[in-house]
Structure 1
Amino acid sequence: MTSRSSTEPHRASTPLELFFDLTFVVAVAQAGSRLVHSLAEGHPGHGIAGYLLVFFAIWWAWVNFTWFASAYDCDDPLYRVATLVQITGVLVLAAGVPRAFENSDYTVAIVGYLIMRLALTFQWLRAAHDETDPAARRTALRYAAGLVLVQIGWVVLLLLPDAAWNWGFPPLAIAEMAVPAIAERRHPTTWHPHHIAERYGLFTIIMLGESVSAATVAIQTALDDQAALDELLPIAAGGLLIVFAAYWIYFAAPIHEYLESGQQAFLWGYGHYVIFGSAAAIGAGLEVAVEQAVGEAHISDLAAAASVTIPAGLFLVATWALHARHHKRGAAQQVLLPAAAVLVLACTFLGEAAVPAAGAVAALTVAAGVALSARQGEGAGDVDPHGERVSEAD
């Protein structure tokens, strides 16, 4: 297992990577359903705090594997077995989400993380053993040591009283994110920019898929409850427009050209915690809006609307700040997404019309973006399905 080239042509996600991503659907769905329950019952503080904590664990587990695979995926039997062990850890983590969310019992989740970390540490040690470059070997060993030290910290925190999580989680989360920065300070791994961009794009689609599922629930509920048909169909339509717009905006331009340095890549990669988390939370918000429409939620119309508009607005701002602004030309293009986020948040105060209004704003934002791009000669046809620029002749 030696490092792959960062300029390797035609580098694409493997079936094993896609299988790995699929297992996270279970964990994200568990976190989303608990968020829905907390918001619908009028406990936003508990729900949002629990969601942010649990989603961090889900997101960081995915990040660890993705960047390692971009640099060292050799796809031999030993690598596959180690990855399948990590998948088992993800499933254990998913099983522990309800306990972590409802009872602050993180035992099962930590066990799942321990399984994943043992396999990933083995992968880094294997990479260090097989590396021919001494600098790359030291980087791999620093990764392995960092993973072990931080995991010991989580186990120790698990053994302490429950109150210890209030002060123990933030420094350990910071330590987690510091491991790659420290390990790659002198010699970065050979992650592949195009591959990383594709991997993040695919995971964004999985997060948006949670919202598509929520819109489907709205339609199904409307068909089953004819009395609420007039309220539920606009929610479903507005939710779909938001999700479709989110997809369009995220994939409007390729990003791999921007990922030229480790510092840029770290900021972009870490910032996707907000993009992924808000994309999945849109779906949870739509389910809350549906429950409010059929009288099953115990919150105000304003709170139900905010469950959708806040994550939607956050997605727009985060996507602009981390992803889209690097390709914008001129003040009109730069201000479009932040202005759209403000308008989406303003829709919160429209009561029952909030979700369809936010969907309309999202759709108009896409239309305005296409029009501005066309005026400057950046038509939608300039980007192929793989994110590469193509000419008019192509």
Structure 2
Amino acid sequence: MTKTRSWRPFGARDPHEAHRVSTPLELLFDLVIVIAVASAAEGLHHAVAGGHAAMGVATFAMAFFATWWAWVNFTWFASAYDSDGPLYRLITCAIMAGALVIAGGIPRLFEGLDLSLVIVGYAVMRLGMVAFWLIAARADPRHRRTALTYAIGISVVQLYWNVTLQWLRPESTGAAMALFGLGALLELSVPLVAERRGTTPWHLHHVAERHGLLVIIVLGEVLLASANAFTYTDGAAAHVGQLVLLAFSALAITFAMWWLYFSQEGPVDQQVFSSAFRWGYAHALIYAGGAATGAGFAVVIDGLAGAGGHGGPPAPPLAGNLTVAGSLALYMIGLWFVRDRLVLTGPWRHGLLLFAAAVLGAATLGDLALPATALLTIAAVVARSRVQCRQA
């Protein structure tokens, strides 16, 4: 944290600064993001429970992208330019307000693909980032071209969002999703173009810590599902045993997911342009998989408790099992991509892919699906730890 807090424009931080850690403001930002993530996971939960799994997954992807992308942009900017001054804090608070608007608009998105409130919140967040980059362009002459490219790129894509999804308002679901997909690709391309004009001075260990903290946040969704399973035991006497087993399965899977992520750091080369982008972008698979795993457990709990989406009948057990399995497999695939394929050697460097396939197969085991999934996830931790020790 810098010692001087003033209203002057903030310049670049030292990318090799010692003892760089997350600031209280960044942790508050994470607290806001967890609300949006929880809203997206809840929407997926109700969509699958209501028998609209395909639409729910697509809508979850849209809601999650808006939340994750805003978080990523702020996190990497903060790593390079966080001054912790009054102006920086005020703009960050405005961005957080936008995130809360997104969280409030996610239920509308799931109910009728109404993007209006999400786009408003997203616009607030993105305009805050434009302000950040314009200030950085003024205060950091060395990276002025990069900062201005970010500001222009974000503004152009924001104009795209408002024209295509807010003003034109496509009536067909397919058209809306296609336009959203194109917008997402445009968003992802902005840093790729901007950073080629000069890499911003982001801090390797700070960025790694920030990404690890978000992993813990999304795993909280699975922990919440475990707690909810215990709360239903009083009202579902016929399924008390299954609910308790489900709760412990969710707990075991959470611990194993945490262990898998934090067992070893992924290789990120601060000097290689492509390395940082592959590592940062692929984390979206890890975050989405973690949050959606909790939604899958919630669907299974609803089935055992006799509840369904929007007051209807509960979804078949296979729907919840597949949601858990697919989400957990996505988490493992993401970890394999950002780390294991690069740090392990021999056939076991692909071990997480094998466990991801096994988890998907376990989804068909009926009442034993989730306990089997928990055992497989624990086995993945044990197997990977042995391989890591052997290759150390």
Aligned to 1:325: 341
Distance 1:190 1:26, change over 3 A: same
Please identify, of 64-73 and 219-228, the stretch whose mean Cα deviation from structure 2 is larger: 219-228
CA deviation after TM superposition for structure 1 residue 197, in Å: 0.8
Question: What residue identity is the alignment partner of 2:365?
Answer: L
Q: 2-side partners of 1:274 and 1:54: how far apart?
A: 14
Q: Deviations over 1:100-143 (max 9, x none)?
A: 1211111111111111122211111111111232xx01111111
Report the Cα offset of residue 258 of structure 1: 4.4
Q: Could you tell me which of 156, 163, 179 is aligned with 1:156? A: 163
Post-superposition Cα deviations, 1:64-109, rounded to whole Å, max 9, x if no partner, equal: 1011101111111110111011111111111111111211111111
2:4 aligns with none
Point out the more displaced range, 111-120 or 221-230: 221-230
| In the alignment, structure 1 residue 32 sits paired with structure 2 residue 48 | no
Equivalent in the alignment of 2:6: none
In structure 2, the partner of 1:139 is 146
Contact 1:289 1:307 in 2 (8 A): no
Deviation (angstroms), 1:223: 4.0
Deviation of residue 39 (structure 1)?
0.4
Letter paired with 1:148? S
Within the alignment, does 1:302 sit opposite 2:318 as a pair? yes
* TM-score scaled by length of structure 1: 0.91
Superposition RMSD in Å: 1.5
Whether contact under 8 Å (1:35, 1:284) holds in the other structure is yes
In structure 2, relative to structure 1, the CA distance for the partners of 1:141 and 1:201 (3 Å cut) is: same
Q: Which residue does the alignment assign to 2:369?
A: 354
Task: Report what 1:384 is aligned to.
Answer: none
| Kept after mapping to 2: 8 A contact 1:146/1:179 | yes
In the alignment, the residues of structure 2 paired with residue 51 and residue 285 of structure 1 have an alpha-carbon distance, to the nearest angstrom, of 12
1:182 CA drift (Å): 0.7
Amino-acid identity (%)? 41
- SS in structure 1 of the partner of residue 70 of structure 2: helix
Question: For residue 197 of structure 1, what is the aligned residue in structure 2?
Answer: 208
TM-score, with structure 2 as normaliser? 0.92
* Count of residues in Structure 1 that have an aligned counterpart in Structure 2: 374
The one-character-per-residue Cα deviations of 1:228-262 (angstroms, maximum 9, x if unpaired) are 11111111111111111111011111236545422
Deviations 1:258-287 (A, max 9, x none): 454221111111111111101000000000
Distance 1:325 1:252 in 2: 15
The Cα of 1:18 is off from its aligned counterpart by 0.8
Give deviations 1:328-366, integer Å, cap 9, x for gaps. 13323x132111111111111110110011001111221
Picking from 223, 238, 241, the partner of 1:212 is: 223
Match of 1:342 among 351, 357, 363: 357
Distance 1:127 1:55, change over 3 A: same
- The answer (yes or no) to whether the contact 2:20–2:205 under 8 Å persists in 1 is yes
Q: CA offset at residue 294 of structure 1?
A: 2.2
> Aligned runs of 1:102-113 on 2, under 5 Å?
102-113=111-122
Contact 2:45 2:298 in 1 (8 A): yes
Looking at structure 1, the residues matched to 200 and 23 of structure 2 have their Cα atoms a distance apart, in angstroms, of 19
The answer to whether the 8 A contact 1:90-1:113 is kept is: yes
Q: Counterparts of 1:50 and 1:121 in 2: how far apart (Å)? A: 27
The 2-side partners of 1:74 and 1:211 are apart by 35
Q: Structure 1's 195 and 235: CA in aligned 2 closer, same or farther, altered over 3 A?
A: same
Distance in 2 of aligned mates of 1:166 and 1:366: 37
Answer whether contact 1:221 1:232 (CA < 8 A) is retained: yes
Residue 45 (str. 1) matches residue 54 (str. 2): yes
Look up the match of 1:122. 131
Once the two structures are TM-superposed, the CA of residue 300 in structure 1 deviates from its matched residue by 2.3
Name 2:189's counterpart in structure 1: 178
Q: Is the 8 A contact 1:242 1:363 kept in 2?
A: yes
Residue 292 of structure 1 contacts residue 299 of structure 1 at CA under 8 Å; is this kept in 2?
Answer: yes
Q: 1:70 aligns with which of 79, 97, 107?
A: 79
Equivalents in 1 of 2:376, 2:199: separation in Å?
A: 42
Q: Which residue of 1 aligns with 2:272?
A: 261
Cα distance change of structure 1 residues 211 and 260 upon mapping to structure 2, 3 Å threshold: farther
The residue aligned with 1:79 is 88
Q: Would the aligned equivalents of 2:11 and 2:136 in 1 still touch at CA under 8 Å?
A: yes
The structural deviation recorded for 1:186 is: 2.3
- Is contact 2:282–2:337 with CA below 8 Å preserved after alignment? no
Residue 369 of structure 1 deviates from its aligned partner by 2.1
Q: Amino acid of the residue matched to residue 359 of structure 2?
A: V
Unaligned runs of 5+ in 2: 1-9, 309-313
Shift of 1:25: 1.2
Equivalent residue number for residue 332 of structure 2: 316
